[in-house]
Amino acid sequence: MKIFGKRQVVRRGRARRRGMTLIEIMVVMVILGLIAGMVGIAVVGAADRARVDRTKTDIANLQGALDLYKARHGRYPDTGSGLKALVDENILSKMPKDAWDNDYQYLMEGGKAVVKSYGADGQPGGDGTNADLSNVDEGK
């Protein structure tokens, strides 16, 4: 024990700890990893939902463009002309693509114009983000 002026300083064992131990750093890293994982999962799910929503909105807009074409010509474009007829008539500025950069499918079914997107996989059928979307599915 040393005495400095009126104060006594007692040194026992090691000096005061400074910084963090390896275990403390590892615990912090695990916590940060868990938080990053939860945020990542939420962001990926939101991006998929946004693509589906955008494609549904595009299909609704295409239905409106088809209705305008029908108002001008008294009929929908035939399957051979497809959506290209909307570009030729300057109703659309360019051929549309869905949120996964695939072409929309157009056909006539029972006198009704049907616009489809085959989803993320670009193939008919599927579940989740791979599911087909169309204006018929939406009840239009």
Residue by residue, pLDDT tens for the chain (140 residues) are: 555 555 555 555 555 567 778 898 999 999 999 999 988 888 878 888 899 999 999 999 999 999 999 999 999 999 888 899 999 999 999 998 999 999 999 999 888 899 999 999 989 988 888 899 999 865 44
Residue 7 lies in a domain: no
In a domain? residue 45: no
| pTM to 2 decimal places | 0.68
Task: Look at residue 21 and tell me if it is in a domain.
Answer: no
Does residue 104 form part of some domain? yes
Asked if the structure places residue 107 within a domain, the reply is yes
Domain encompassing residue 94: 54-140
Quick one: pLDDT at residue 139?
Answer: 43
CA distances from residue 33 to 10, 26, 28, 30 in whole angstroms, order as listed: 42, 10, 9, 5
pLDDT at 106: 94
Determine, yes or no, domain membership for 60.
yes
What does the pLDDT read at residue 105? Answer: 94
Residue 18 in domain: no
Q: What total number of domains does the chain contain?
A: 1
Which tokens hold the place of 47?
């991006």
Q: Say what the pLDDT of residue 42 is.
A: 80
SS3 109: strand
Report the CATH number that the domain containing residue 75 is assigned in CATH. 3.30.700.10
2 lies in some domain:
no
